Structure 1
Amino acid sequence: MTKLATVFMIVLVDLIGFGIVLPLLPFYGTRFGASPLAIGLLYSVYSFAQFIAAPLWGIWSDRVGRRPVMLLSMGAAVIAYLLFATAGSFGALFVSRLVAGVMGGNISAAQAYVADVTTEEERARGMGLIGAAFGIGFVLGPALAGVLMLERLPLPGLLAAHRLALPGLTAAALSFSSFLLILFRLPEPAKKTLTARSDRREIFTRRFWSGPLALFFAAAFLFSLGQSSLYGAFPLYCHSRIGMGPDGVGFLYVLMGVVTVIIQGGALRALVRRFGERRLFLAGAILLTAGLMMIGLTASARFLAAMLVMMTAGVSLSVPVLNSLVTKRAGGAGYGASLGAAQSLAALGRTVGPAWGGLLFGISAASPFWITAIVISATIWIGLRIQAD
C-alpha cells in the first residue's frame, strides 16, 4: 500500500466513526433533557475548539513530525468516543465533543503529510483523496449509525443492556484501527518541512495572517461558511418549499457525498492536468455561488437535487485545490502551520455557518441561500486575483 493510500485509509476509517456519532447528537442530548440551544452547542463546541487548536497542531507537526501528531490526535479520538459512549449526563457529552475538537489535529497533519510526499503536480490529487475520505465517511457513517440503532439488531447480553453505547464504542474501535495503521503502516515522511523557531512564532503575528496566504485563508472560511450554512436551514427549507421529509433530505446528503467522492477521488487529477489549479479554483467558486443562489429558486425536488450537485461540485473542486495552493505559497511558515491555519478558519466557518443559516431562515425561506451566495461570491474575486498573480 502506498503512503497516499495509507493516509486515505487512516482518514477514511476515522471519518466513518465521526459520521456515526454526528447525526446521533440531538438524540443523545434530548435523552439528558438538553434544550435545542444546548444541542446546537454540541456541534459548535467541536468546530470552535478546532478553530483554536488547529494552528497549534499544524505548528507542532512542522516541529516534531506528522506521525506523532496523528498518533496523539487519533489516540485522543478513541478517548473522546469512549467518553461519548459512557456519558451519563449532558455535561459529560459536552466534554467528549470538546476533547474531540481540541485534539482533532489529524486532518491538518494528514494534509501536511500529503504535501510532504507529493510533487506540486500531484498535490491537488492527494488533497482530493482526503476530501474523498470525507465524502465516503459522511455517507457510510450515518448509514452505519442507523444500523447500530436498530432495535431488532441482535446483540450479546452486555451490549444489549447498553445499546446506546454501541455507536460510540464502534467509533472508538474505528479510531483505534486508524491509530494502529499510523503506528505500524505509516512512516514519517523523509521530505519533511521543518520550520525555524522564529517561523513557529510567526503564526501569531499579523504579518502571517495578512501576508501572501491571506486570500487563501479568507477563501477557506468562505467555502466552509457556504457549505455549513446548509446544516441549519436546508432541512427546514426542503420541508417548507417542497414538502420533503427527513428521508428525502437524507438522500440529498448521500448524493452530496457521492458527488464529492467522484470528483475528489477520481476526476480531480485529470481536471488539474487539463485546466490547472487556479482555473479550477475559480470554476469551483462560480459553481458554489451559483448553486447556492439557485437553490433559493427551487420549485421541485429534481431542480433542488441538480442545484445541490452544482454546489457540491464547486466545493469539491475548490477545497483540495485551495489546500494545494496553500502549501505552494507557504514558504518558511511550513506546510503544517499554513494548513493548520486554513483548517482553523474552515472550522470557524463551520461554527458560524449553521447558526447563520438558521438565523437567515427566520427572515425568509430563500434568504439563507441568496444572502450566503452574495457573501461567498467574494471567492470569485479571490479566484480572479489568484489567476492574475
Structure 2
Amino acid sequence: MDCDTWHSTSNIISLSISLFHDKGLSHCKERGRYQLLCRLCRVIFNTLFGLSVNFWMAIITRFLLGSLNGLIGPIKAYAAEIFREEYQALGMSTISTAWGIGLIIGPALGGFLAQPAEKYPSIFAKDSIFGRFPYFLPCLIISLFSLVVAIASFWLPETLHIHESSVPPQDSYEALEAAPDTKEGNESAPKENLFKNWPLMSSIILYCVFSLHDMAYNEIFSLWAVSPRKFGGLSYSTADVGEVLSISGFGLLVFQLTLYPLVERYVGPIIAARVAGVLSIPLLTSYPYIAMLSGIALSLAINFASVMKNALSISIITGLFILQNKAVNQRQRGAANGIAMTAMSIFKALGPAGGGALFSWAQKRLDASILPGDQVVFFVLNVIEAIGVLMTFKPFLVETQNT
C-alpha cells in the first residue's frame, strides 16, 4: 500500500468518525462551544502535521485532524437557521464558496509556501526550522488563521432554540435569540428515520457523485498543468498553478456571492445544478485543446476555463446543500448534514487516488487510436458528470418544501 492509499484510508476513517460529532452535537444547544473545540483541535494537529518527522507521525496527526474536525455539518445547520427562506441560497452559497475557495486556495498556498528554504533562500535559511520541515510554513499559516477564527467564534451566539408548539416561528434573528429555551412540543414529536427520507438520501447520493467528480478533477488539473507538453500538459510550474488557482478562487467568490443567489431565486436549485452540470461537459472537453495554445492565449484560456469550471461545480454543490436542508426539519438538520458529510468524505478520499491512477494510465496510451492521452482523462470526468446530470431528474431527485 503506497503513501497516497494510506493517507486516503486515514482520511476516510477519521472523517467517518466525525459523523458522530455532526449527528450528536450539531443540533444540540452547545454548538458554539463544540465548533470552538473543533477549531482549536485543527490549530494543534495541523501544526503538528507540518512538524511531522516521519510517515507515521503524519498519518496519525492527519487522522486526529480529520476525526476532530466535525465543522461543516453544524455550520450548514447554523446557516439554515439564521437565514430566512428567501435568503437560503445566499447562506448556502457562502458556505460552499468558503469550501470551494479552501479547495482552490489550499493547493495554491501550498505551492507558494512549501519548501521555502529552496524557493526563498534569502529569507529562510536551510538550517532553520523551515528548512528542516519544508511543509511547516503553509501549515503554520493555516493554523494561525484557524486560531484567529477560533477566537472569533468564542462570541458566536447559539441559534437553535426549541419553542413550544403554540409559539409561531419568528422572522428576525433577534427574536430567535430572545425566544425561551424550552423543549416541550418539539421533543414529543417522533423523529423521522433519515435513511427513509428519499428527498434527503437522493440529494446526498447526488452530492457524493459530484464530490467524487470534483475531487478527481482537482487532482487531475494540478497533474495535467505541471506535466510536460509532450504528454499533453501545460508545462506549468507549481507557482504557475498556484496563480491560476488563486484567480479561480477570486472569481468563485464574486460569482457565488453575487450571481448565484439571483439564478437560484429565478430557476431553483435543481435547474441551476442541472444547467451547471450540462455546461461543464463541453468545458471539460475543451481542456486538451487548450493545451495546444501558448503564450497569452494559453493564460487567458486556462484561467477562464478554471474559473468557469469551479463556479459551475460549486453551483451544483450549493444547490444540493439547499435541497438537503429543505428535506428535514430543524431538529434533524445536524444529523442530516453529518450523514451527508460522512458519505461525501468517502467519495472525496477516493477521488484523488482514482484521478491520479487515471492520469497515470492515460500517459501510457499517448498513441491510442481512440481518446489518446489526456483526452481519455477528461472523457471519464465527463461520464461521471453526465451520470450526475441524469440523476437530477425525477423520479430519482425529489425536492421537498419542508424546512
- Smaller-chain TM-score bracket: 0.7 to 0.9
Q: 1:304/1:47 Cα in 2 relative to 1: closer, same or farther (>3 Å)?
A: farther
What do you get for the CA RMSD once the two structures are aligned?
3.3
CA shift for structure 1 position 137: 4.0
* C-alpha distance in structure 2 between counterparts of 1:199 and 1:51, whole Å: 26
Say if 2:335 is the partner of 1:365. no
The residue type equivalent to 1:104 in the other structure is: N
Question: For residues 125-184 of structure 1, what are the alpha-carbon distances to aligned partners after superposition, in whole Å with 9 as ceiling and x for unaligned?
Answer: 1111122223444565556553572333369x986786644443333332222221111x
Query: Which of 246, 251, 272 does residue 259 from structure 1 map onto?
Result: 251
Query: Superposed, which structure 2 residues align to 1:222-371 within 5 Å?
Result: 222-238=209-225, 239=227, 240-246=231-237, 247-298=239-290, 299-300=292-293, 301=298, 302-331=300-329, 334-361=332-359, 362-363=361-362, 364-371=373-380
> Would you say the 8 A contact 1:117–1:189 is kept in 2?
yes
TM-score normalised according to structure 2 size: 0.75
* C-alpha distance in structure 1 between counterparts of 2:261 and 2:218, whole Å: 29
Say if 2:99 is the partner of 1:126. no
Question: For residues 215-263 of structure 1, what are the alpha-carbon distances to aligned partners after superposition, in whole Å with 9 as ceiling and x for unaligned?
Answer: 2011111111111112433233332214422244333322332232122
The residue type equivalent to 1:214 in the other structure is: M
The residue type equivalent to 1:222 in the other structure is: V
Deviates more, 1:344-353 or 1:228-237: 228-237
Q: 1:175/1:216 Cα in 2 relative to 1: closer, same or farther (>3 Å)?
A: same
> Would you say the 8 A contact 1:295–1:308 is kept in 2?
no
CA shift for structure 1 position 64: 4.3
Q: Which residue of 2 aligns with 1:46?
A: 11
Query: Which of 200, 207, 222 does residue 196 from structure 2 map onto?
Result: 207
The residue type equivalent to 1:207 in the other structure is: K
| SS of equivalent to 2:53 | coil
> Would you say the 8 A contact 2:108–2:245 is kept in 1?
no
Identity %: 20
CA shift for structure 1 position 105: 0.8
Deviates more, 1:139-148 or 1:231-240: 139-148
TM-score normalised according to structure 1 size: 0.77
Query: Which of 96, 120, 123 does residue 153 from structure 1 map onto?
Result: 123
Deviates more, 1:302-311 or 1:63-72: 302-311
* C-alpha distance in structure 2 between counterparts of 1:65 and 1:283, whole Å: 39
Higher helix share: 1
Q: 1:328/1:179 Cα in 2 relative to 1: closer, same or farther (>3 Å)?
A: same
> Would you say the 8 A contact 1:289–1:311 is kept in 2?
no
* C-alpha distance in structure 2 between counterparts of 1:258 and 1:377, whole Å: 27
Deviates more, 1:242-251 or 1:88-97: 242-251
CA shift for structure 1 position 98: 0.6
Q: 1:387/1:281 Cα in 2 relative to 1: closer, same or farther (>3 Å)?
A: farther
Q: 1:199/1:56 Cα in 2 relative to 1: closer, same or farther (>3 Å)?
A: farther
> Would you say the 8 A contact 1:55–1:344 is kept in 2?
no
* C-alpha distance in structure 2 between counterparts of 1:81 and 1:199, whole Å: 40
| SS of equivalent to 2:392 | helix
Q: 1:136/1:278 Cα in 2 relative to 1: closer, same or farther (>3 Å)?
A: closer
* C-alpha distance in structure 1 between counterparts of 2:316 and 2:130, whole Å: 45
- Equivalent residue pairs, number: 348
Q: 1:45/1:269 Cα in 2 relative to 1: closer, same or farther (>3 Å)?
A: same
> Would you say the 8 A contact 1:111–1:339 is kept in 2?
yes
Q: 1:287/1:323 Cα in 2 relative to 1: closer, same or farther (>3 Å)?
A: same
CA shift for structure 1 position 123: 1.2
Gaps of 5+ in 1: 1-34
The residue type equivalent to 2:235 in the other structure is: M
> Would you say the 8 A contact 1:226–1:353 is kept in 2?
yes
> Would you say the 8 A contact 2:29–2:160 is kept in 1?
no
Query: Which of 370, 376, 379 does residue 385 from structure 2 map onto?
Result: 376
Gaps of 5+ in 2: 164-182, 363-372
Say if 2:58 is the partner of 1:87. no
> Would you say the 8 A contact 2:4–2:353 is kept in 1?
no
Q: 1:169/1:344 Cα in 2 relative to 1: closer, same or farther (>3 Å)?
A: same
> Would you say the 8 A contact 1:53–1:102 is kept in 2?
yes
Q: Which residue of 1 aligns with 2:166?
A: none
Q: Which residue of 2 aligns with 1:180?
A: 151
The residue type equivalent to 2:3 in the other structure is: A
